[in-house]
Structure formats: structure tokens, C-alpha cells
Amino acid sequence: MENRLTGEVMFRPPKNEEVPKLIKNLIKWINSEEAKEIDPVIEAGITHYEFVRVHPFVDGNGRTARVLATLILYKRGFDTKQFFCLDDYYDSDRQAYYQALQGVDQKRLDLTKWLKYFVEGVNVSIEVVKERVIRLGSERLKKTKRGQIALTERQMQIVEHINLNGKITNRDVRSMFKISDEGALKEIKKLLKLGVIKSRGKGRALHYVLQ
């Protein structure tokens, strides 16, 4: 495999006649119980590296490896909404990407450094998507059909808390704004009336989620 930026040969792929067997072994491992017991991000990272190492195509091995890694995350329930794309992170610094791949000891196949880099890429990609979803959700709720402001800044913070955590309680609202139980309930009732949130559970289990 050659670094497209420097032309440096990173490692020699296996001989052509070995490729079909190696790809079959990779597919067999992906479908094995051993792989299913591994964290999905680690499985995706291992698969990404091994596909690039085998290098079955003349070109496009890196792109295909990233698609395959994303597919594994999706099938393992990690990316149920298919929101994020790994390409953005790995394409942002190609030199770092190649260095991470090159950092694997070919004799021992110790993937520790590569997996640290890969996991960080997944984490950054998820954070970018999370911020985008929160921002778009907030902008949508800020305006009515006439373009008027529908929610106060405090109410927007409540909505963003639910976006991040999936729910909010009266205690959470009290803690966020350092207000009384009555004050927190007042904010919640406004959002209930506007149809932005709805209640779930009863008694101590009472909480609120987005409509």
C-alpha cells in the first residue's frame, strides 16, 4: 500500500493468489461469535485495518474499508439512524490516517495504536452529528410558522437537555436553573402546553420526553 500524499510504500499487500482466501477468512471472522463478543467499534476498526492490509482492489481500498466499518456499526445497532459518516474525519488529515495504518507492526499485528486512532475518529464523528442534530432541533423549535420566537432561552435549554439525555425530570430542571420545585414545574407546564414535550411514568418515575 502506498501513501498517496508522499508516495511512500507503507506495506506490501499479500500476493494476488492469497487475496481470495484472506477475504473469505475476514468475512468468516466478521460473522463469527468471537467478533460478536467484541465491542462494535473495535470490530469495525479491526475489519477496516484487515481489509486495507489485504488490499483486494487496485484502488478504493480505503473507501471500501470505511464503508465496511460503517456497515458493521449499523448491523451491530451502533448507528441505528445512519447519521454519521467516517470519511469526514479520516479525510480531514490524510497524513495522520496513513501514519496510523503504518503504525501497525506487521510481524505481531498489534493494532493498539491504529484502534486508538480509529475509535477517536468514531467519537469525533458522533460528536459532530450530535451537535448538528441539537442545533437543527433547536432552530426548528425556536420558530412558529410565522417565524416568531416560540420558546425562551430557558425552555430551549430544557429541550437541548432532552436531546442529549433522552429525557428530563422536575429535579433536573430545578438543578439546571437553581429554581424552586414550583418554578421548575411552571417551565415544564409551558412546554407541555406548547406540545413540545410529553410526560412519561408516574410518581417518582415521572419524566418528560420530546413529542
| Residue 7 domain-assigned (yes or no) | no
Strands 197-200 and 207-210: antiparallel
**What is the mean predicted confidence (pLDDT) over 174-192?**
91
Statement to judge: residues 123 and 195 lie in one domain:
no
Give the pLDDT of residue 98: 87
Structure confidence at residue 152 as a pLDDT band (50, 70, 90) = confident
| Residue 40 domain-assigned (yes or no) | yes
Statement to judge: residues 23 and 120 lie in one domain:
yes
Statement to judge: residues 73 and 166 lie in one domain:
no
Give the pLDDT of residue 146: 46
| Residue 147 domain-assigned (yes or no) | no
| Residue 137 domain-assigned (yes or no) | no
What confidence tens digit (pLDDT) does each residue in 86-115 have?
777 887 788 888 889 888 887 788 999 999
| Contact criterion met (CB below 8 Å) for 98 and 5 | yes
| Residue 30 domain-assigned (yes or no) | yes
Does the pLDDT value for residue 193 go beyond 50?
Answer: yes
Give the pLDDT of residue 74: 86
**What is the mean predicted confidence (pLDDT) over 179-194?**
90
**What is the mean predicted confidence (pLDDT) over 169-187?**
92
Statement to judge: residues 161 and 125 lie in one domain:
no
Give the pLDDT of residue 134: 65
Domains in the chain: how many in total? 2
| 3-class secondary structure per residue, the chain | CECCCCCCECCCCCCHHHHHHHHHHHHHHHCCHHHHCCCHHHHHHHHHHHHHHHCCCCCCHHHHHHHHHHHHHHHCCCCCCCCCCCHHHHHHCHHHHHHHHHCCECCCCECHHHHHHHHHHHHHHHHHHHHHHHHHHHHHHHECCCCCECCCHHHHHHHHHHHHHCCECHHHHHHHHCCCHHHHHHHHHHHHHHCCEEEECCHHHCEEEEC
Last residue of a domain, one of 131, 165, 183: 131
Could you list the residue range(s) of the whole structural domain that residue 185 is in? 153-210
Give the pLDDT of residue 88: 75
Statement to judge: residues 114 and 199 lie in one domain:
no
Does the pLDDT value for residue 55 go beyond 60?
Answer: yes
| Residue 28 domain-assigned (yes or no) | yes
Statement to judge: residues 158 and 127 lie in one domain:
no
Distance (Å, whole) CA 188 – CA 125: 32
Statement to judge: residues 37 and 89 lie in one domain:
yes
Statement to judge: residues 127 and 175 lie in one domain:
no
- Name the range with the highest mean pLDDT among 23-37, 63-77, 113-127, 158-172: 23-37
- Name the range with the highest mean pLDDT among 22-26, 60-64, 70-74, 91-95: 22-26
| Residue 85 domain-assigned (yes or no) | yes
What confidence tens digit (pLDDT) does each residue in 107-137 have?
788 999 999 999 998 888 877 776 766 665 6
Last residue of a domain, one of 101, 131, 161: 131
| Residue 140 domain-assigned (yes or no) | no
Last residue of a domain, one of 76, 100, 131: 131
What confidence tens digit (pLDDT) does each residue in 135-147 have?
656 665 555 544 5
Statement to judge: residues 103 and 157 lie in one domain:
no
Statement to judge: residues 113 and 180 lie in one domain:
no
Of 89 and 184, the one with more pLDDT:
184
The domain that contains 179 carries what CATH number? Answer: 1.10.10.10
The domain that contains 53 carries what CATH number? Answer: 1.10.3290.10
Structure confidence at residue 149 as a pLDDT band (50, 70, 90) = very low
Statement to judge: residues 87 and 185 lie in one domain:
no
Statement to judge: residues 115 and 169 lie in one domain:
no
